[in-house]
Amino acid sequence: MSGARISSISKNSPASGVDLLVGDELVSVNGREPTDIIEYQQLIDGEHVTLLIRRGEGPLTRKVTIQKELGEPLGLSIDSAVFDRIRTCDNHCSFCFIYQLPKGMRRSLYVKDDDFRLSFLYGNYTTLTRFTEFDLERVLDEGLSPLYVSIHSTNPELRAQMLRNPRGASSLRWLRELLRAGVEVHAQVVVCPGVNDGEELERTLADVISLYPELTSVALVPVGVSAFSNEETMRSHTNDEALRVVRLAERYQVLTKEILGRVSVFASDEFYLVARETPPPATKFDSLDQAENGIGLVAAFAQSFAGEADMDKLGTGFFQSVDGAPAWGYRADHGTSTREDPGDEVLVVTGEYAQPLLRAMFDEHGFVDVGILAVKNTFFAGNIKVAGLLTGEDIAAALADVPDTTLCLVPDVCLSEGRFLDGMSIDDVGHSVRIVRTTGQDLRQTLESLTTKRLVPS
């Protein structure tokens, strides 16, 4: 039970002029006990808001009434998105990355949710195996759209097998109901070599056209396999396997355009990189709603670096609704803890996938002398090569031979409240570090501000 506590009060807001304190628990709003931030926002929309609060650990409560304009923000920030209990996932997917985490990490990282509310709020994917008639009614009544659904396979037996949950065979009926009611839905297929690829993937994509044509987008995502995986059937894609997925996605882009009048199937940028192909340019995407799955993320970053687009509304992390995500709404702050000395040299720290992309980008825009350090992920190992899953331990090891006078630029996507996934802080890295927001625009502005410094050669 997470509860609903006030985390901050905006100055000069309606809530700032009454007896409310950070840490107060919201028991009810206008006589109702909201179960999540969605319901809370609806309840505070009127001109008169009555809060029942509890201060401290005692049982006593008190009422606070606030007058404001209709639709005016109340001025309170709440410390969680779900006030009752996150609907945890009861699937046991062999490809689930949370099962591939070592012991001893932050407790919040082990939370598996299958909650449609977090799907609406954060873009988390739900398998719909815990979805109910009551949930459908709420989604439709409150207009909770878009939602994000994990398909993985439209073969009922295979889907149940992959989720290790018999309800996986039938839960896509809720997807049909959502689409019939006009709810916008983005879907994903985590492609596992030898399991749901090849003919099974073709079957799934064919069913997308025939059974679920209203889907806004379908992302094909490669399975992430770390050194901590105990699943014998899980392995990384070979270059040829990744290329086959890319070509299949491109074929279905043509088909969906011809049949549905729009492109709805996409392979993630990671598939292109594994296949040693260049990810598609921005002109290939109508939207970036699947950026969390790496659909168009490279193109968006390049556009942002060139000053042609704004990435502020793009997600960039894996543990979205827990504590490893951008500080929008009710996500955790990455943190601003930093050790930064002037230094004469500058080095950009990133993951293995991003290094060649950044190199080409820097050279194109005149930053030919900017150094790039591609950090090998030995903590997770396997095929984990994205910047968002880098740990302090690996970064510190990679910087061991870098002079102390070097200023290292670290992307904020691998931090949560100033700490890496392994619990290390920026200070533990042992170098002068500046945290840079993970957008092309922010990286370029940072580099431009350091043009007077001597830069590390490539």
Q: How far apart are CA 110 and CA 100, in angstroms?
A: 10
Side-chain half-sphere CA neighbours of 452 within 13 A:
3
Residues in the chain: 458
| Phi, then psi, of 149 in degrees rounded to 5 | -125, 135
* Bridge pairing between strands 48-54 and 61-67: antiparallel
Q: How far apart are CA 248 and CA 251, in angstroms?
A: 5
Q: How far apart are CA 106 and CA 416, in angstroms?
A: 11
Residues 365 and 443: beta-carbon distance below 8 Å: no
Q: How far apart are CA 298 and CA 283, in angstroms?
A: 12
Amino acid at 312: D
Tokens 């989604």 correspond to: 139
Q: Could you give the residue ranges of the DSSP H alpha helices within 220-280? A: 239-260, 269-274
In sequence order, the β-bridge partners of residue 6 are 78
In sequence order, the β-bridge partners of residue 373 are 349
- Per-residue pLDDT tens digits of the chain, which is 458 residues long: 457 899 999 999 999 989 999 999 999 999 999 999 999 999 999 999 999 999 888 788 899 999 999 888 999 999 888 888 888 899 999 899 888 888 878 777 888 889 999 999 988 999 999 999 999 999 999 999 999 999 999 999 999 999 999 999 999 999 999 999 999 999 999 999 999 999 999 999 999 999 999 999 999 999 999 999 888 889 999 999 999 999 999 999 999 999 999 999 999 999 999 999 999 887 787 777 787 788 888 988 998 999 886 665 444 333 333 322 333 333 344 444 455 554 568 899 999 999 999 999 999 999 988 899 999 999 999 999 999 899 999 999 999 989 888 889 999 988 887 889 888 988 888 888 899 998 899 999 999 988 654 455 55
Question: pTM to 2 decimals?
Answer: 0.85
In the three-class reduction of DSSP (H, G, I as helix; E, B as strand; rest coil), residue 137 is classed as: helix
Among 417, 424, 416, 433, which Cα is nearest to 392's? 424
Element (H, E) at 320: none
Enter the DSSP assignment of 292: G
